[in-house]
Amino acid sequence: MDRESRSGLAILQRLAEEQSLLLKDQFLSDRLVHRLSFSSRRRSETISIALSYEFLSDLSETPGYGPAAELFTASLAKRFVHPTPMGFICKSGPVIRFSTDGLVSRTDQREICSISVDILDMRRDNYKAIVNVLISSYQNDHDLTGNELLRYGAVLNTVRKAIDDGTVRLLKGPAEPVPVKLRPRELEQPTDRKSLEEFLRSKVYWLGFNEGTKDTQVWIADPWDADYLHVSVKTLVQTAQVLDAKGILSLVGQNGEFAKVGLELLRNAPEINEGGTAATGSDRDCGPPDWDLFICYASKDKREFVAELARGLKSAGLLKLGDSLRQCIDKGLVSSRFGVVILSHAFFERAWPQSELDGLFAREVKGHKVILPVWHGLNEAEVQKYSPILAGRLAVRSEEGLAAVVERILEVVRE
């Protein structure tokens, strides 16, 4: 190792110490790569990254590399506040644990390399995925500007987006690697306010309260989340401030960058587990596998319509009827032949984003219908306003009567 690369390591070592992190270095001579392991005295978990000899040699001189290193180490220190430092929320519901050593492997294509990522479902035991994120030379040079520290957030968000659109599924048992091309931050619409609120609510509930206690803190101002949601860190913090005012979250710290569950979120914990954004998504909640049908609904609609619909379908002979919440959809669509989605004002108030709906329709392969929409208290213009893609789908309306809804669903299921 020459003086330049030692200088780069010394910079990272200093930055780690400033953040009260421990840093261990292992040089892999066959790859000319340094495997760096960061840890914190407060957690047993280690976060590993891989940086090339060339990058470390350029760290002190190349514009942008130094600030990126400062941000990276500061971000790691804040993630180590979490019980699971590399736990993340997906917009489509799953709560995942992200793990990679960051080692870059060559592929059969000369201009393409890959990074292997292990994903564990934090709400369902033994559900996982392996993803090989493919990065072209052009993406490395232009989208990531050759800065190897930018790879990790880009790889994580690529995996989250692939889970959201159904390209990657968290399945039980042995997992086969799924290749996914790196998805740099695109010129997409920023996530809307209600979706941001639900995202933060779920993050604090699942990564804080569910992993610890009511006093467990979660970092709100995460730049990787900001990139994933196409908003600024400032917007994330401001959204958290709104939730703090509502009593849903309780901001902590001088700058309000951390939050724990608020009294309102704790009071609604049973409802959350029954039908809110932070629903458990466990095997117990989603019912047995291999259903004929599952029902996706907003909790507000359960008493006045969904419960009666479920009883009507069971009475009609659908013995394998799963009762699935929106967080169970990823499993429900894999394990069920059909899914009934109760579209109502309450459903769309839960800020079901367009990307998640697209993920549902992505499961309908080879022309086979999977999603069966039921309009509950909505007309065509209202559905068009909420989701044009659903407005064009043939649907049955609850106002036609329970018997008519059951009959129409049975016609499709028994075709």
Residue 69 lies in a domain: yes
What sign results for the dihedral spanned by CA atoms 159, 162, 164, 169? negative
Q: What is the pLDDT of residue 172?
A: 86
Whether residue 147 sits in one domain with residue 208: no
What's the burial of 66, exposed, middle or buried (CB within 10 Å: 0-12/13-18/19+)?
Answer: middle
Whether residue 100 sits in one domain with residue 19: no
Residue 93 lies in a domain: yes
Q: Is residue 42 classed as helix, strand or coil in its secondary structure?
A: coil
End position of a domain, from candidates 136, 166, 186: 186
Residue 384 lies in a domain: yes
Q: What is the pLDDT of residue 389?
A: 65
- Quote the pTM value: 0.68
Residue 96 lies in a domain: yes
Neighbours of 118 (CB within 10 A): 16
Q: Report the CATH number at residue 292.
A: 3.40.50.10140
Contact in structure between 318 and 309 (CB atoms under 8 Å): no
Helix H or strand E encompassing 115:
strand 112-121
Q: What is the dihedral of CA 128, 132, 133, 135, to 10 degrees?
A: 170
Contact in structure between 115 and 50 (CB atoms under 8 Å): no
Residue 116 lies in a domain: yes
Token pair of 211 as six digits:
């992993």
Whether residue 305 sits in one domain with residue 216: no
Whether residue 197 sits in one domain with residue 119: no
Whether residue 321 sits in one domain with residue 354: yes
Whether residue 235 sits in one domain with residue 119: no
Q: What range defines the domain where residue 143 resides? A: 89-186
Whether residue 221 sits in one domain with residue 144: no
- Tell which residue, 323, 292, 299, 326, has the closest CA to residue 309: 323
Q: What is the pLDDT of residue 336?
A: 64
Distances (CA, A) of 12 to 78, 103, 156: 16, 18, 22
Distances (CA, A) of 390 to 305, 342, 364, 396: 20, 12, 14, 12
Residue 115 lies in a domain: yes
Whether residue 304 sits in one domain with residue 376: yes
Residue 276 lies in a domain: no
CA–CA dist 34, 54 (Å, integer): 10
Q: Indicate the residue type of 107.
A: T
Q: What is the pLDDT of residue 313?
A: 82
Say how many domains are in the chain. 4
Q: What is the pLDDT of residue 22?
A: 95
> Which residue positions in the chain have pLDDT lower than 50?
270-271, 273-289, 319-330, 333, 351-359, 365-366
pLDDT tens digits, one per residue of 334-354: 556 777 888 888 887 764 434
CA–CA dist 403, 261 (Å, integer): 42
Whether residue 165 sits in one domain with residue 111: yes
Contact in structure between 199 and 350 (CB atoms under 8 Å): no
Whether residue 299 sits in one domain with residue 223: no
Helices (H) and strands (E) in the chain, counts: 18, 18
Q: What is the pLDDT of residue 107?
A: 74
Q: What is the pLDDT of residue 236?
A: 96
Residue 143, C-beta contacts closer than 8 angstroms, at least 6 positions apart: 154, 182, 184
Token pair of 150 as six digits:
């930018």
Written in H, E and C, the secondary structure of 248-305 is: CEEEECCCCCEEEECHHHHHCHHHHHHHCCCCCCCHHHHCCCCEEEEEECCHHHHHHH
Whether residue 405 sits in one domain with residue 339: yes
Q: What is the pLDDT of residue 345?
A: 86
Q: Report the CATH number at residue 25.
A: 3.30.160
Q: Report the CATH number at residue 232.
A: 1.10.10.10
DSSP secondary structure of 116-171: EEEEEESSSTTEEEEEEEEEEHHIIIIISTT-GGGHHHHHHHHHHHHHHTTSS--E
Q: What is the pLDDT of residue 376?
A: 93
Contact in structure between 132 and 167 (CB atoms under 8 Å): no
End position of a domain, from candidates 186, 207, 230: 186
Q: Report the alpha-carbon angle 243-247-253, nearest 5.
A: 70
Q: What is the pLDDT of residue 186?
A: 66
Whether residue 402 sits in one domain with residue 291: yes
Residue 72 lies in a domain: yes
Token pair of 2 as six digits:
């020459």
End position of a domain, from candidates 216, 238, 271: 271
Q: What is the pLDDT of residue 327?
A: 42
Q: Report the alpha-carbon angle 350-87-124, nearest 5.
A: 70
